[in-house]
Amino acid sequence: MTDKLLMQKDGAIGWIIFNQPEKRNAVSQEMWEAMPGYVKELTADDAIRVVVLRGAGDQAFVSGADISQFKDKRKNMADEENYRRISAAGSDALAHLQKPLLAMIHGFCIGGGLSIAIGCDLRICSDDARFGVPAARLGLGYHYHGMEKLVRLVGPAYTKEIFFTARTDFSAQDAWRMGLVNQLIAECFNSQDYQEGVKAFSEKRRPQFQGR
């Protein structure tokens, strides 16, 4: 386990937190290694009805891969294959989680962060969220499976715009227009109604919103 990825339980809600705010929650190999164990524990706990992914701090959901590890852990093809195996195990664990999975997005949701978000059942973002896939700028290839998921979600035209422009400043409004996120709610994550909404969802009942 690593303190760069945290797991918490709060009643019926399970939280998985990308905890590297000094690097805008860039995903490290250690995070992916810890993911299957956390998913297994939350799956086995019958009290947990919904799982929420979020980033620590106030700057980012996930800003992509931790590029500081490239020189040590992704320096050649053998290392890259090992990284892909570990990250795939973490991604597959999330993909096969047998409970609703929500992405709680604020700040940067870039590259691998966007890939994580689109693998969730629902995506709700704050109005400061920024999206993009800068792979073309960096000369990086992108896995077909990741592109396929994005095409299924937003369609080929928006997928081409995201990849061809390599912009990292698509706004929350842009994401909502594309269908990339389900809801745009300003400061929603600090509101009592958001907490009530998540709780009601996990308890399979109608929420009692108070407008606060």
Contacts of 100 (CB under 8 A, 6+ apart): 49, 50, 51, 121, 122, 201, 202
pLDDT on residue 41: 96
At residue 120, the 3 state secondary structure works out as: coil
Alpha carbons 198 and 210: distance in angstroms, whole number = 14
Residue boundaries of the structural domains of the chain: 5-202
Contact predicate 55/23, CB 8 Å: no
Contact predicate 144/88, CB 8 Å: no
> Please, what is the Cα angle at 175 between 51 and 35, to 5 degrees?
30
Task: Please count the CA atoms within 13 angstroms of the CA of 205 that sit on its side-chain side.
Answer: 8
pLDDT of 75-125, one tens digit each? 666 776 877 888 889 999 999 999 999 999 999 999 999 999 999 999 999
Flag whether pLDDT at 72 surpasses 70.
Answer: no
Contact predicate 28/69, CB 8 Å: yes
CB burial string 170-189: b at 16+ within 10 A, e below: bebebbbebebbeebbeebb
pLDDT on residue 201: 72
Choice among 29-38, 152-161, 178-187, 197-206 with the minimum mean pLDDT? 197-206
pLDDT on residue 73: 63
Predicted confidence band of residue 204 (pLDDT cuts 50, 70, 90)? confident
Predicted confidence band of residue 187 (pLDDT cuts 50, 70, 90)? low
pLDDT, average across residues 148-162 = 94
The more confident residue out of 126 and 208 is: 126
pLDDT on residue 108: 96
> Please, what is the Cα angle at 183 between 111 and 142, to 5 degrees?
15
Flag whether pLDDT at 69 surpasses 90.
Answer: no
Contacts of 46 (CB under 8 A, 6+ apart): none
Q: Could you name the CATH architecture of 5-202? A: Alpha-Beta Complex (3.90)
φ/ψ of 16, rounded to 5, equals: -120, 120
Average pLDDT over the chain, rounded to an integer: 87
pLDDT on residue 145: 77
Choice among 7-11, 70-74, 105-109 with the minimum mean pLDDT? 70-74
Flag whether pLDDT at 188 surpasses 60.
Answer: no
Alpha carbons 140 and 153: distance in angstroms, whole number = 22
pLDDT on residue 103: 97
Strand order across the beta sheet in which 60-62 lies: 60-62, 108-110, 130-132, 170-171
Question: For residue 102, what are its two tokens?
Answer: 């929500």
φ/ψ of 5, rounded to 5, equals: -130, 120
* Percent of the chain residues past pLDDT 90, beyond the cut: 63
pLDDT on residue 105: 96
